[in-house]
Structure 1
Amino acid sequence: MSMRERETAVRRMLEQTPARVPPDLHADVVRRGARILRRRTAARRLMWLLLFAATVAFVVWALAAQPWVEPPSETTPPLTGW
């Protein structure tokens, strides 16, 4: 069913007095809404899991690399006063 046909069918239904609603509409809407809620919940849990994993990875890297410590000098100081 194309968008134009669907729009025409909806307009016909709304022009009737009173507007008739298909009997299976409520079940379809509830099923679709439940599916959307499940997907949002799963996406939210996945995002929290990814954030937690990134935080753990950063903490492990920071403890291993210790970026706040100054690296040792690559060159030796000149020897004076021998």
Structure 2
Amino acid sequence: MNHLHREARVRRMLEGVPPPVPPELHADAVRRGQRLLRRRNAARRALWLLLCAATVAFLVWTLTARPWVEPPSETTPPLTGW
């Protein structure tokens, strides 16, 4: 089948009567769209909650561990010259 035959066949299909659409298709599409939106919103909320929890955990760790402070020396220098 060459290009002209395919083009003619497509034109006949487009000019003809469109096939009937099932009446429940709209309701199914709306229901599916709402479900996708709910899932997307729930995932977004979960990610924000996870981000906030990680931020709080990091802040608590930095305030308690104070990683920027040098740890105290465990050995004392020898006392000579007294």
TM range, normalised to the smaller chain?
0.7 to 0.9
What is the rounded CA distance, in whole Å, between the counterparts of 1:75 and 1:17 in structure 2?
93
Q: Where do 5+ consecutive residues of structure 2 fail to align?
A: 1-12
TM-score (norm 2): 0.77
List structure 1 runs of 4+ shifted beyond 3 angstroms. Answer: none
Higher relative contact order (CA 8 A, sep 6+): 1
1:30 alignment partner in structure 2: 30
- 1:30-56 deviations in Å (ceiling 9; x for gaps): 000000000100110010001001100
Two-structure CA RMSD over aligned residues (Å): 1.7
Q: Where do 5+ consecutive residues of structure 1 fail to align?
A: 1-13
TM-score (norm 1): 0.77
Question: Larger C-alpha radius of gyration, 1 or 2?
Answer: 2
